[in-house]
Amino acid sequence: MSFLIAVHVNEGIVLASDRRVTYTNTQTIGTITVQRIGIHSTNSTNKTFACPNGAGIATCGDASLEGKPITGFIQEMIRTKIDKETPVENIPQIIVDYFNALSTVPDTHFIVAGYSMEEAEKKQLIYKINVKTKTIEPQNTSSQGATWDGEIATLTRLIQNVAVKDVNGNYIDLPFEDILWSYFTLQDAVDFARYAVETTIQTMRFKNVIETVGGKVDILIITPEETKWLQKEEIS
């Protein structure tokens, strides 16, 4: 499934993801369908991409399409559909149209992040996209915060209010402290994005689950002036 996060602060946007892909094999033998989950995994899959117009795209969900890794399809889409002049706000629909034009539509999610190209005001734009349902959800960037997708359970439980059930069946809220998003600098955003991905990886490592998040962390920084890789695994 993967884990990806976009942290947005006044100075810029940080887009981060893991690199693990886990494959499932489904076979039909007579009238019986056998599904083998997690038969193969790799930690070398690109899930975060930089576009020619400075936007960033991250993906999770179905990682293969038509018997091939979905990475190649995303790279082809960026190469043929997005150029330096493409408005960031057009990218979500480009993604939906591209994947829905294929013979098989994957159950794949995307986060798109960047800035509007209006010179008078560089406005932060973040979208969550589900290509199968053709859903495009603009995220609120009027105040500092974060958006994440994929294997969200670990981070959600860590930073959102949690209640426990007592012996009488009543729920009692545990002490809760907010994340101080409003005080985040760009470095804080980088540190939190890395923390969110690495914590998800390490938590899944010790739980009775298939480790669908893993490998190194790719981190892309997007500011009004430039888009650059802070951390990126390269082919060696």
Token digits of residue 27: 């076979």
Token digits of residue 105: 């539509």
- List, in sequence order, every residue forming a beta bridge with 60; answer none if it has no partner: 109
Kindly tell me if the per-residue pLDDT of 39 is higher than 60.
no
Task: Report the percent of the chain where pLDDT is more than 70.
Answer: 94
From 172, 224, 221, 223, select the one nearest 232 (Cα to Cα).
Answer: 221
The residue ranges of every structural domain in the chain are 3-26+35-231
Query: Among 23-27, 28-32, 124-128, 182-186, where is mean pLDDT lowest?
Result: 23-27
- Name the CATH superfamily housing domain 3-26+35-231: Aminohydrolase, N-terminal nucleophile (Ntn) domain (3.60.20.10)
Token digits of residue 187: 């470095």
Kindly tell me if the per-residue pLDDT of 26 is higher than 80.
no
Kindly tell me if the per-residue pLDDT of 174 is higher than 90.
no
Going by pLDDT thresholds of 50, 70 and 90, the confidence category of residue 178 is confident
Instruction: Report pLDDT for 183.
Output: 97
Kindly tell me if the per-residue pLDDT of 23 is higher than 70.
no
pLDDT tens track for 109-148: 999 999 997 767 889 999 999 999 999 999 999 999 999 9
Instruction: Report pLDDT for 11.
Output: 97
From 131, 184, 178, select the one nearest 6 (Cα to Cα).
Answer: 184
Q: Do 220 and 186 contact (CB within 8 A), yes or no?
A: no
Instruction: Report pLDDT for 53.
Output: 96
Instruction: Report pLDDT for 22.
Output: 80
Token digits of residue 211: 């480790």
Q: Which long-range contacts (CB under 8 A, 24 or more apart) does 92-98 make?
A: 92/127, 92/129, 92/136, 93/136, 95/57, 95/129, 95/131, 96/129, 96/131, 96/134, 96/136, 98/73
Going by pLDDT thresholds of 50, 70 and 90, the confidence category of residue 66 is confident
Task: Give the integer Cα–Cα distance in Å for 236 and 22.
Answer: 22
Q: Do 219 and 14 contact (CB within 8 A), yes or no?
A: yes
| CA dihedral sign, ordered 218, 149, 105, 212 | positive
pTM of the model: 0.89
